[in-house]
Copies of this chain bind each other. A is one copy, B any other.
Amino acid sequence: MKLTCQKSDLLNGVNTVLKAVSTRTTLPILECILLQATTDGFKLISNDLELGIESNVQATIEETGTVALKARIFSEIVKKLPDNDVHITVDEKSYTTIKCEKSKFNISGQSGEEFLQLPNVPKENGILISQFKLREMIRQTIFSIALEEIRPILTGELIEFKDNELNMVSLDVHRVSIRKMDFESALQNMVVVVPGKTLSEISKILDADDEKDVQIYFSDKHILFELEDSIIVSRLLEGDFPKYEQFFSKDYDTLVKINKQELFMSIDRAALISRESKKNPIKMTIKDNSMIITSNTELGDVYEEIDIEKEGNPLEIAFNPKYFMDALKVIDDDYIHLQFTNPHSPCMILPEDGDDYKYLIVPIRIRA
């Protein structure tokens, strides 16, 4: 292999593929980045068996070839090279030379024969979606995936195409998060569950620019994201995702309209007193025109009052403040609706109008 590329292009590529390099593994080849120069161009490839990334790097190729280099040392060298032409040559023993201005590195590589190529996903079942919108939908749901692996399916997010809508859903035993958007596509009644780690890495690669799109393809076992200069392939999670709609009821006895930021700030302060012990939740007392938030522990006590508009019954109910704050943090609206039934039933957080999002939070029982 013999090629020349720009340091900045090479660094972009390396930073992208680094997201699928294993750091803790018993298979040393998974700690490598594959450099592949063919007549089609120069590519970097990484694959940790769950997630695989290919990134194209603009290069002038004099000799094609392949080498697998330890990701850590290769990425650190690239990061610190001067901002200029980088010359990479690899000999038949995979001995690799990286030259830039008056700087020259020699490191040993591997032939790359052991390197696992990315799974093949046929470009059949596909959609096109704005990178910005996908990133927003991930941000607004990913916080409530389950972290424990007791039910592996819950460590992923449901992506569902139904009735010309795209739904993303995550849930654990304490809460459910749903984001919806109108979305016409040929994929009807299609459901996949994508690992949380994949969504978290992909959202770092997605552009904040609303003009750019990402093409997504689905196969039975994989999902493929196609961006301008890179391809990300992830395995899907197998198993049955809970029927999430069953957790939501259409009835409620108390409806509250409240300023989202005021509610967040008040819970954030009340959590200073409550957090010392999980047995000390925050208590919400819903009156005609105000919500009172209190907490009382060995640290002291706190009293917060917020103006609200209320329909229905007054109520006392208690929550783990973290679950409320996680949801409020990702909502962009100024005012939200809260729906309650009784002190033992979940609270639903909804927009004033429409159904772009729905968050459900299970309360904590308090003694009378």
- Which A residues lie at the B interface, using CB under 8 A? 73, 76-77, 80-82, 102-108, 265-266, 268-269, 272-273, 299-306
Q: Given A269-B77, A272-B77 in contact, is the A302-B104 Cβ separation under 8 Å?
A: yes
**B80 near A268 (CB under 8 angstroms)?**
yes
Chain B residues contacting A107 (CB-CB under 8 Å) are: 299-300
Q: Can you name 21 A-B pairs with beta carbons within 8 Å?
A: A73-B272, A73-B299, A77-B269, A77-B272, A80-B265, A80-B268, A80-B269, A81-B269, A82-B265, A102-B304, A102-B305, A102-B306, A103-B266, A103-B269, A103-B304, A104-B304, A105-B269, A105-B273, A106-B300, A106-B301, A106-B302
CB <8 Å contact, B268 and A104: no
Closest to A301 in B: B106
Cα distance A299–B70 in the bound complex, in angstroms = 10
Q: How far is the CA of A306 from the CA of B103 in the complex (A)?
A: 9
* Max chain B Cβ within 10 angstroms of own Cβ: one of A81, A102, A304: A102
User: Which chain B residues border A266 with CB–CB below 8 Å?
Assistant: 103
Residues of B within 8 A of A103 (CB): 266, 269, 302-304
Which residues of the partner chain B approach A265 to less than 8 Å between Cβ atoms?
80, 82
| Chain B positions within 8 Å of A301 at CB level | 105-106
Q: Chain B contacts of A104 at CB under 8 A?
A: 302-304
The residues of B that contact A303 with a CB separation of less than 8 Å are: 103-105
Inter-chain contacts of A269 with B (CB < 8 A): 77, 80-81, 103, 105
- Judge whether A105 and B73 touch: CB under 8 Å: no
Docked CA distance A76–B252 (Å): 36
CB A92 to nearest CB in B, in angstroms, measures: 17
Q: Which residues of B contact A304 (CB under 8 A)?
A: 102-104
Contacts of A77 in B (CB 8 A): 269, 272
